[in-house]
Chains A and B, each alone.
Chain A
Amino acid sequence: MAIKGAITVDTEKCKGCGVCIPNCPTGTIALSKEVNSKGYNYLYMANPESCTGCTNCATVCPDAVITVYRVKI
């Protein structure tokens, strides 16, 4: 049985601090080249296929902008 995950990011509230990125064990996430209305490079899933839904990114997010989903397949 495999585990697949995904995240959604409240991109308007993300401040692009990046503390989540070194805490992602699968290299799924990165900061976007685009900026939100505040001028921050917000978080996105650069490699969505590798996400396991481990919640590490959301756990360390200071602004609670990440929601995590997980399925067993």
Chain B
Amino acid sequence: MAEKILMKGNEAIAYAAINCGCDGYFGYPITPQSEVMETLMLEKPWETTGMVVLQAESEVSSINMVYGGACCGKKVMTSSSSPGISLMCEGLSYLAGCELPCLVVNVMRGGPGLGTIQPSQSDYFQATKGGGHGDYRTIVLAPATVQDMYDYVDLSFELAFKYRNPVMILGDGVVGQMMEKVELRPAKPRRTDKELRELCDSWATLGKSASRPGNIITSLALDADIMERHNIHLQNKYATIEANEARYETYMTKDADHLIVAFGCMSRICENVVELARQDGIKLGVLRPITLYPYPEKALDALVPQMKSIMSVELNSGQMVEDVRRIASGRAPVHFYGRQGGAVPSPEEIYEAFVKTIKK
């Protein structure tokens, strides 16, 4: 039986980073995720694995340190919360444009503006539809438990290097701050210089080897034909990601004739809503997208025909519901229930809202 340790979601990110062979973390304090860097500084991984940890002067600098580290083929990451992620969006666009692997953790808080330090899911659009400028995508994973926070760090790096693309863990103040038992995974050592050469010498700035000209990492191409080819290449890559990497979980959907779609902490609360509904004889199930990009389109598409109604439950004013409506495509009524600005609903509140929609 593997060791289980009680920890906060934010601490889990830090421990997972050290454990999975992350080379560098660059960050800037912001509530509710500051424990990520605090934990790393306490653990001093530079003395054990050699991992670099640095407090930058801003989120802008953090993401550009990640950019520099990613250029070197290193496993590098940052973490922040919503306002800080807004500052990082330019860097994310560059990272995506240059096809660089990295991990960005967003422990979402309520907005807009400085907003609140309470949990929110109002960065769904920003995370899944862009955020920065240009036609790019980031792979987005939505953790619902502290174990997910821990496990998705390694998974993110695997996906980031598989597709040479930024990956975002889109958590929220709930999963960042709550404490749960986490099963630790076997440690992965950091890549050696030799492994790095073998894996990344064709593109990374490791120092020019004798067998190749200098590598240039840039997102700039003034020639429209070259830029269009690059964009088409990126879109083809995204299509591959969409075909292969959609992840989801279902809860009691087999016999369900009503469906709730919810991600992150809301999917757990909605499992309790299912219990309430089933006590009243209503066959309700939950679809939890794990990847918000690529969205689990096929899974939802397959569930739509059996449903009398679908409700998207989110900590925002209705963002993911647009994807749910698009996929349901008129085959079932799609409703929305959301709370905003840091408020988190109880299962009873959600159930009440759900019952109203099916009685209409």
Would A and B touch once assembled, by the CB under 8 A criterion? no
Partner-A contacts on B (CB < 8 A): none
Partner-B contacts on A (CB < 8 A): none
